[in-house]
Structure 1
Amino acid sequence: EPDFGAITASTLHVPLDLSYEVDLWGRVRRGFESAQADAAASVAAFHNVSLTLQADVAQNYFALRALDAEIAVVNRTIALRTEQVGIVSNRFDSGLGTELDVARAGTELATAEAELATLRLRRVELENAIAILVGEAPADFRIEPATDGLGDGSAKTPVIPAGLPSDLLERRPDIAEAERQLAAENARIGIAKAAFFPVVRLTGSGGFLSADVESLFNWESRVWSIGPSLSLPLFAGGRNKAGLERARARYEESVARYRQRVLVAFGEVENALAGIHLLGEQAAAQERALQQARRARDLALEGFNVGITGYLDVIDADRAALQNQRASLQLEGQRFIATVQLIKTLGGGWEANPNDG
């Protein structure tokens, strides 16, 4: 019998495949638009978080400075009440006053000291909150008490121009995010529509083919092929139809979400403007009350010094003056906080963005 020996051969192949889709129906273009809009929405979401963080820091800072002003007032009150305790005690020792007056003066002094401790605790809490917001360890973070600002008239809230244009709301990151999400869903409708049409691709392959390594990368060992391919969605009609309906439903949902965010934005701006206006009126009335309370305190002290009024009248007038002064400082702090809130609701303020035009 003839002996047919086995013949073994091997080939080496280094392939390179390329594929290009002919975008006849806009599927690729709409896919790019969708991805681009999604990326822009993510950037807007980041800016929204950043704006919220900045507003929180500013609001906590102004609340802390309002507390600094209150602490300064209470410190001065403690110094005055310490003097009053000495005066009342001397009058009692001289037989001109009563022990009841001494006890009342001591009570008012201790009450002011207790209020000071409460204010200092609140300040520490706000300082720690700011530290956390800016990413610092509370133990290593310190904001020195202000010696001026709120309470002395040197700090002024920004003047808000009349007739703020509504297009300022377009700068709000949350609205920009919703608008980009809307654009992405609109592009996905185009992708879903393109799924009904055939996909045309130009496919090419090339490389090197050789029986031995030495000649694998020689120019004579090159091989290549190119040709079109066509895929038809013959049996995917129901799936494609459902995909299109889903894309349209998600688009309508995005439209509703965008409209809702715009309405919420208008409401927040109106609330912020009304709050600033009413806080201004309240602050003006509070300032008048403070002036009257200070006048009443001065009259009570004058009457007590000449023996016309009792020390109880002095205590009541002094307490009313302190309460009204602290209320004025709190309102001033609230006005700054409300202004920060308005800036936030407008997406960063009411000045024209130089990049807009």
Structure 2
Amino acid sequence: MRKQFFPPAAPLALTVALALGGCVSLAPAHQRPAAPVAAAFPDAPAVNGEAAAGIGGEAAAGIAWRRFFPDARLRQLIELALAGNRDLRVAALNIEQARAQYQIRRAERLPGVALAVNGNRATGADDAIASNYSAGLGVGAFELDFFGRVRNLSEAALAQFLATAEARKSAQISLVAAVANVHLSLLADDELIDLTQKTMAARAESLKLIQLKYDSGVVSKLDLQQALSLVASARVTLAQQQRQRAQDANLLTLLVGQPLPATLAPAATLAATTLAALPAGLPSDLLAARPDIRAAEQQLLAANANIGAARAAFFPRISLTATAGSASGELGGLFSGGSYGWTVAPQLLLPIFDHGRNRANLGSARAGREIAVAQYERAIQTAFREVSDALAGQATFGEQLRAQRAVAEAEAERFALAELRYRNGVASYLDLLDAQRSLFAAQQAAVLARLLQLQNQVTLYRVLGGGWSEPAAR
């Protein structure tokens, strides 16, 4: 049996070949597209003298949610949600899956070494049995990446992994805001239920008086039926509000990922809840603050890398198979002296006729890049619109709340005057009923205006990139 032995230059040649792999990349250079939005947000200046400075002048993305939400109960709810929310858990697992895919692609850039043991016995022309045994280490079909195909595929997988990590950050930011908004809705539900119960109790007392007057013949049955209608309508409103509160509580349980523990801190009132004002900054700040925009840019980088891999498919693909070990015609002499050898088998594959497959792959990759550019620009436009909407709310909800509270105060005074006039026989019971309905509606609207103001502040915090913190910092 003829044996091949390692010449001194063989390892050096293999090392040079590996070093040359991946020295060329055919991917287009990445250029961040210009932001297709205005240079400043509308309604960004302070309105009615309200301050627009954040905590210590920090941008929203730099303010941790623990500092933005001072309520102890809300902090506990957010902590529980970050630990138990299933959507956030899926987002974290998606990162692990993307990381594994990237590691697979990265491993293709390096040669894989395997232990190979072979044995072969066959008969020849004269019926003699010939034996051949070998054992050693082998490198199987390792591609010398001269044109960057494998490296571009690895870079695309890396960009996909980074985009998935950014998507996980977006999921956490959305979850923090969702928990805060549902918590505020529950506070509003409690205030509305309390308001309705008090209104219903007051109407029930009025009904008793009207019933006595009716029994005494002082008022007509029309007044009695109107009083009964007011009490019944209050019961309808109370049932609706109790149902809404139960649904909000169920939603909060879903977000938290477990039944709410009894050890939560006492709930604050909606009126006592305060959140810091936030500076809007510039639209260009969103490129660094919003994880969804960063994820869209990573997708654009992946699309560029896919173009490089598609271009490399037009060039020769060079692979290398090599083994080094021991070979012998007898099993007992497999590891005896003088039986060591090596083989090197390079292969070059140059596409000639592929029926347009490579050209179609390149066209698909280029179209994918254009899609990624449009999605990136769309992400910026969406972020600009969300921030603009939240700023419009910040500029108007404060004035709306003040005006609505003024309406409630005026309606309370009107009701007091109408009740006094009715008791003195100056006004009709219809005037009193109208004043009661208007007061109740104005009080409910004031609670809802406060809720919308606080939820808009939470939304502004979210759309400016606030709410993310590293797991170790929680």
TM-score normalised by the shorter chain: which range applies? 0.7 to 0.9
Q: Which residue in the other structure is 2:414 paired with?
A: 296
Q: Shift of residue 88 of structure 1?
A: 3.2
Tell whether 2:427 aligns with 1:306: no
Q: Residues 147 and 322 from structure 1, CA distance in 2 versus in 1: closer, same or farther, beyond 3 angstroms? A: farther
2-side partners of 1:9 and 1:348: how far apart?
Answer: 75
Per mean C-alpha deviation after superposition, the further-off stretch among 31-40 and 104-113 is: 104-113
Q: Deviations over 1:12-50 (max 9, x none)?
A: 333532154444333333222111112222233343344
Q: Deviations over 1:213-258 (max 9, x none)?
A: 4444556543322365444345559544443333223212221221
Tell whether 2:447 aligns with 1:329: yes
Q: Shift of residue 291 of structure 1?
A: 1.0
2-side partners of 1:9 and 1:352: how far apart?
Answer: 69
Q: Shift of residue 87 of structure 1?
A: 3.2
Q: Which residue in the other structure is 1:188 paired with?
A: 306
Q: Which residue in the other structure is 1:281 paired with?
A: 399
Question: Structure 1: which 5+ runs fail to align?
Answer: none
Per mean C-alpha deviation after superposition, the further-off stretch among 231-240 and 312-321 is: 231-240
Q: Shift of residue 115 of structure 1?
A: 1.2
Write out aligned runs for 1:195-274 (5 A).
Answer: 195-217=313-335, 220-226=338-344, 228-235=346-353, 239-274=357-392
Give the counterpart letter for 1:259 in structure 2. Answer: E
1-side partners of 2:161 and 2:246: how far apart?
Answer: 40
Asked if the contact 1:169–1:265 (Cα under 8 Å) also holds between the matched residues in 2, the reply is no
Name the SS of the counterpart of 2:131 in structure 1: coil
Give the counterpart letter for 1:39 in structure 2. Answer: F
Give the counterpart letter for 1:9 in structure 2. Answer: A
1-side partners of 2:357 and 2:227: how far apart?
Answer: 85
Q: Residues 267 and 23 from structure 1, CA distance in 2 versus in 1: closer, same or farther, beyond 3 angstroms? A: same
2-side partners of 1:29 and 1:6: how far apart?
Answer: 51
Q: Shift of residue 90 of structure 1?
A: 4.1
Q: Shift of residue 159 of structure 1?
A: 1.4
Name the SS of the counterpart of 1:156 in structure 2: coil
Q: Residues 234 and 310 from structure 1, CA distance in 2 versus in 1: closer, same or farther, beyond 3 angstroms? A: closer
TM-score between the two structures when normalised by the length of structure 2:
0.64
Give the counterpart letter for 1:333 in structure 2. Answer: L
Give the counterpart letter for 1:16 in structure 2. Answer: L
2-side partners of 1:240 and 1:53: how far apart?
Answer: 43
Partner of residue 149 from structure 1, selected from 262, 269, 275: 269
2-side partners of 1:36 and 1:15: how far apart?
Answer: 34
Give the counterpart letter for 1:82 in structure 2. Answer: A
Asked if the contact 2:277–2:457 (Cα under 8 Å) also holds between the matched residues in 1, the reply is no
Q: Shift of residue 320 of structure 1?
A: 0.8
Tell whether 2:179 aligns with 1:61: no
Q: Which residue in the other structure is 1:9 paired with?
A: 130
Q: Which residue in the other structure is 1:129 paired with?
A: 251
Identify the structure with the greater helix proportion.
1
Q: Residues 162 and 20 from structure 1, CA distance in 2 versus in 1: closer, same or farther, beyond 3 angstroms? A: closer
Give the counterpart letter for 2:369 in structure 1. Answer: Y
Identity of aligned residues (%): 36
Asked if the contact 1:198–1:233 (Cα under 8 Å) also holds between the matched residues in 2, the reply is yes
Tell whether 2:201 aligns with 1:79: yes
Asked if the contact 1:157–1:335 (Cα under 8 Å) also holds between the matched residues in 2, the reply is no
TM-score between the two structures when normalised by the length of structure 1:
0.82
Give the counterpart letter for 1:128 in structure 2. Answer: N
2-side partners of 1:16 and 1:67: how far apart?
Answer: 71
Name the SS of the counterpart of 1:10 in structure 2: strand
Question: Structure 2: which 5+ runs fail to align?
Answer: 1-124
Q: Residues 237 and 30 from structure 1, CA distance in 2 versus in 1: closer, same or farther, beyond 3 angstroms? A: farther
2-side partners of 1:98 and 1:239: how far apart?
Answer: 90
Q: Which residue in the other structure is 1:39 paired with?
A: 161
Q: Shift of residue 86 of structure 1?
A: 2.8
Give the counterpart letter for 2:362 in structure 1. Answer: L
1-side partners of 2:322 and 2:289: how far apart?
Answer: 47
Q: State the Cα RMSD in Å.
A: 3.3
Name the SS of the counterpart of 1:106 in structure 2: helix
Give the counterpart letter for 1:75 in structure 2. Answer: Q
1-side partners of 2:280 and 2:314: how far apart?
Answer: 54
